[in-house]
Structure 1
């Protein structure tokens, strides 16, 4: 735990605020390329076979491939929804944790592509005239275009459904619905797609959403916050920032790591009732420290 906190303090300063906005900008560049240079789409796809042949830019450029663009109105609604949910999740989790979540999702997606590549080799994959499409010796096909930002967006949505299940969104800007119900619907859709798609689809979905599974398991299934908790948390952070700016002193300090409320907006502090004395701890050490007797 201490090693993790030490690494976090070193990397926290490199966290990118409002990361969802940059992701949306990448989608915008991808949409422009689709309309201006349609043939260039094939050079963006995450195809491990071509990466191993030297086309290493594909490890990054697949992020430019936007979600389905068949209906521009639907695209705008979807992007606005994910931008709003991503921003909300960043405010609740903190910039550092949200960065780790998104970047781990990107890395797991790349890892999944190479796992599927290995499976394809074992199944005697043969290239076709279409980039990213390979025929296997069992008569099925593998399409690496399945590794897309669709699942990155899905991971944001599922994280919101798990963390803030009672928050309402306006479906199509009209129908109010709680995020948790949409999360359940999306989960069922993913399960059906996996059952219908076979092992290749399982690999795509599991690795693309592995960041959500890891975060959910690490939190022991207790990621959710109520609307009241979110409001109190935001009020707490605002008060602490105001106190630090006006008085130049801190009100809270962890007895283990020494961090204060000025070290991160996502930090919370509590006194331990089992310690002999007034010992205060951050949320990372509240349940892991040795009690002072």
Structure 2
């Protein structure tokens, strides 16, 4: 995380804001090609190392235009859903970290394609079924589920479900796909989800689950419980908008806003809807 902090201070001003909107716009362009361009147009857009090494370098980026699903009402709902999740992650992490997460997935997918091409010894074509943005989109969902496990969403607009259960379901689906796939498919899945693996395994602070840290938290909790004998324990978090604390509900989550000037903390209901606080210059 120190490396990311240094990179953000140096290159953060170049981050693309509202990146999810651009991704959806690329999908829309892909669907327009699907409906109005010749059927063979996608064969010139796929991620094919063979053709890239023979001069068709546009394939390094045009594979992103190919939508992960065929057009339909379900696809439209999912695109809006992923846009909402991605936009929320950008607001929480900041534009730079969200850019790193998405582009890391795209770059690792390209590297995975070239790795397989080298293993096969060249002269092999993959098509758009093997290397696509499908698992990159899934990594957005997994990132949100890990960041906000207790946040409740309305699946298909009417089924309430917590993100952690959907994340577990998606995780089982990925593991099942990984087990059933050939080793070529396994490489493709790992490459497409490498951003999630790196971001949430290699950059996590594992000191928080060490026995020493767990004992420190337990001691702190006991001290808070006895701080006011008549009133019980004191809250550690408080929403700057509604004033709720973690004592008001076990499912409440609190986060600091990276765009507010100062240490302002918000509950999950106001993290994305509050008005940002800016100090006067």
Same-fold call, TM cutoff 0.5: yes
Tell me the residue number matched to 1:242: 277
Give distance in 2, aligned partners of 1:41 and 1:207: 22
**Of 191, 198, 205, the match for 1:207:** 191
1:216 equivalenced with 2:200 (yes/no): yes
Q: Does the C-alpha gap of structure 1 residues 204 and 169 become closer, same or farther in structure 2, counting only changes over 3 Å? A: same
1:194 equivalenced with 2:229 (yes/no): no
Tell me the residue number matched to 1:20: 20
Q: CA deviation at 1:45?
A: 0.4
SS in 2 for 1:146: coil
Tell me the residue number matched to 2:254: 229
1:66 equivalenced with 2:72 (yes/no): no
Q: CA deviation at 1:11?
A: 0.6
Q: CA deviation at 1:144?
A: 5.3
Tell me the residue number matched to 1:116: 116
RMSD: 2.4
Paired residues in the alignment total 225
Tell me the residue number matched to 1:139: none
Q: Does the C-alpha gap of structure 1 residues 222 and 155 become closer, same or farther in structure 2, counting only changes over 3 Å? A: farther
SS in 1 for 2:56: coil
- Structure 2 gaps of 5+ residues are 209-250, 264-275
Q: Deviations over 1:94-125 (max 9, x none)?
A: 1111111111111111111111112222xxx7
SS in 1 for 2:161: strand
TM (norm. structure 1) is: 0.71
Tell me the residue number matched to 1:53: 54
Q: Does the C-alpha gap of structure 1 residues 36 and 235 become closer, same or farther in structure 2, counting only changes over 3 Å? A: closer
- Counting only pairs closer than 5 Å after superposition, residues 1-293 of structure 1 correspond to structure 2 as 5-37=5-37, 38-70=39-71, 72-121=72-121, 132-133=125-126, 143=127, 145-217=129-201, 218-220=203-205, 227-230=252-255, 233-234=256-257, 237=260, 242-245=277-280, 248=281
Q: Does the C-alpha gap of structure 1 residues 73 and 238 become closer, same or farther in structure 2, counting only changes over 3 Å? A: farther
Q: Does the C-alpha gap of structure 1 residues 73 and 242 become closer, same or farther in structure 2, counting only changes over 3 Å? A: same
SS in 2 for 1:66: coil
Q: CA deviation at 1:7?
A: 3.1
Q: CA deviation at 1:221?
A: 6.6
Give distance in 2, aligned partners of 1:24 and 1:219: 29
Give distance in 1, aligned partners of 2:171 and 2:44: 31
Tell me the residue number matched to 2:244: none
Q: Deviations over 1:230-266 (max 9, x none)?
A: 3xx2498276753513xx2xxxxxxxxxxxxxxxxxx
Q: Does the C-alpha gap of structure 1 residues 53 and 126 become closer, same or farther in structure 2, counting only changes over 3 Å? A: closer
Decide whether the 8 Å contact of 1:164 with 1:227 is kept in 2: no
Q: Does the C-alpha gap of structure 1 residues 32 and 144 become closer, same or farther in structure 2, counting only changes over 3 Å? A: closer
TM (norm. structure 2) is: 0.74
Q: Deviations over 1:130-180 (max 9, x none)?
A: xx34xxxxxxxxx55321111111110010011111111211111011111
Q: CA deviation at 1:2?
A: 6.7
- Structure 1 gaps of 5+ residues are 134-142, 249-293
Q: Which runs of 4+ in 1 moved over 6 A?
A: none
